[in-house]
Structure 1
Amino acid sequence: MTTPSFQHLTIETLERWLENDTLLTLVDIRDSMSFHAGHIPGSRHLSNDSVPTLFETAPRQQPLVVVCYHGHSSQQAAAWLAGQGFAEVYSLDGGFTEWEYRLPARVERSGS
């Protein structure tokens, strides 16, 4: 039996996918306050409470990208989501911190 796995995703690749309107599900597992202070456009906050909604609405064959603060916690979440039947799961290397540092104009903030 093989363990479901995830792949690492670079910021450059995610930026290209977003620019090309690639169909994907983008989830941010940081705490709610951090998410609302700034997040990658198109992402949705994923918490223990919102996991059932993700399972009901996200296409299982569409790429699923998990974002955390620095790209560490997202690996564990991505591995778990791969085990839940998502076919193509990614952990964003560098996380939101690196995204915000490199692409500050591509951060959505509350009220902006």
Structure 2
Amino acid sequence: MTTFRHLDIPTLQAWLDDGRALALVDIRDPMSFAQGHIPASRRLDNDSVGAFLDETPAERPVVVVCYHGHSSQQAAAWLAGQGLAEVYSLDGGFTEWQLRHPDRVER
């Protein structure tokens, strides 16, 4: 069974700085996402997940972001079960990202 991996914030920062091809998805509610999110991330919900799976190559790394890194684990496990090869849950979530990188938040 395919499962997800944990990703820490310094690693994600390095990947983004290196321009690594990845899909960054945010599963928080629409208002929270609108108030701030990691640049290049897209909001993912039950309505948009089908299109996301259709558009995303199975080999592209996917990083799932939530508030604190808890619900992203369930979402990451589910996405891995849909055939995506490399799925990560961001430890600490958007809350921790915003604390460490207030200058790297898109509104």
Using structure 1 for the length normalisation, give the TM-score: 0.94
- Offset of 1:4 from its aligned partner? 1.9
CA RMSD, 1 decimal: 0.5
The answer for the alignment partner of 1:50 in structure 2 is: 48
The residue identity in structure 2 corresponding to 1:100 is: Q
2:76 matched residue in structure 1: 78
> Does 2:35 match 1:10?
no
Deviation at 1:37, TM superposition (A): 0.6
- The code of the aligned residue for 1:99 comes to W
CA–CA distance in structure 2, aligned partners of residues 61 and 71 of structure 1: 23
- Residue 98 of structure 1 aligns to which amino acid in structure 2? E
Identity %: 66
Q: TM-score, normalised by structure 2?
A: 0.98
Q: Secondary structure at the match of 1:34?
A: helix
What SS does the corresponding residue of 2:84 show, helix, strand or coil?
A: coil
One-letter amino acid of the counterpart of residue 104, structure 2: R
Q: Give the length in aligned residue pairs.
A: 107
Measured after TM superposition, the shift of residue 59 of structure 1 is: 1.3
Which residue in 2 is equivalent to 1:32?
30
Residue identity in the other structure for 2:40: G
1:87 aligned residue: 85
CA displacement at 1:56 relative to structure 2: 1.2
Structure-to-structure mapping, 1:56-75, within 5 angstroms? 56-75=54-73
> Quick check: which has more Rg, 1 or 2?
1
5+ residue gaps, structure 2:
none
1:102 is aligned to 2:85: no
Amino acid at match of 1:45: R
